[in-house]
Amino acid sequence: MCLAVPGQVVTIEDDPLRTAIVSFAGVTKSISLAMVPEAQVGDYVIVHVGFAISRLDEEAARRTLQTYADLAASGSSDATDG
């Protein structure tokens, strides 16, 4: 299964891959914006294996992140039951 995660663009470098620092709930990673040339600092992007693959609006990003948090919380109690 593949998982793409929303993150917020913090900085962008002017290099061939348009390398950016993206924050995932405070955890930052270096990713490429080459496939999303319109992305700007402050935008939310969907990231998969180190590449931003699309932009999304802030509300959609927040809903997605909340869904991930809800799933993680519901799964954590299951892991301790058995």
Quick: pLDDT tens for 38-72: 999 999 999 999 999 999 999 998 898 888 889 88
Q: Residue 52, exposed/middle/buried by CB under 10 A (0-12, 13-18, 19+)?
A: buried
Domain boundaries of the chain, sorted by first residue = 5-75
Between residues 79 and 49, which one has the greater pLDDT?
49
Report the predicted TM-score, pTM, of the whole model to 2 decimal places.
Answer: 0.80
Query: Which residue, among 65, 60, 76, 58, has the nearest Cα to 25 in the 3D structure?
Result: 65
- Its CATH class, for the domain covering 5-75, is mainly beta
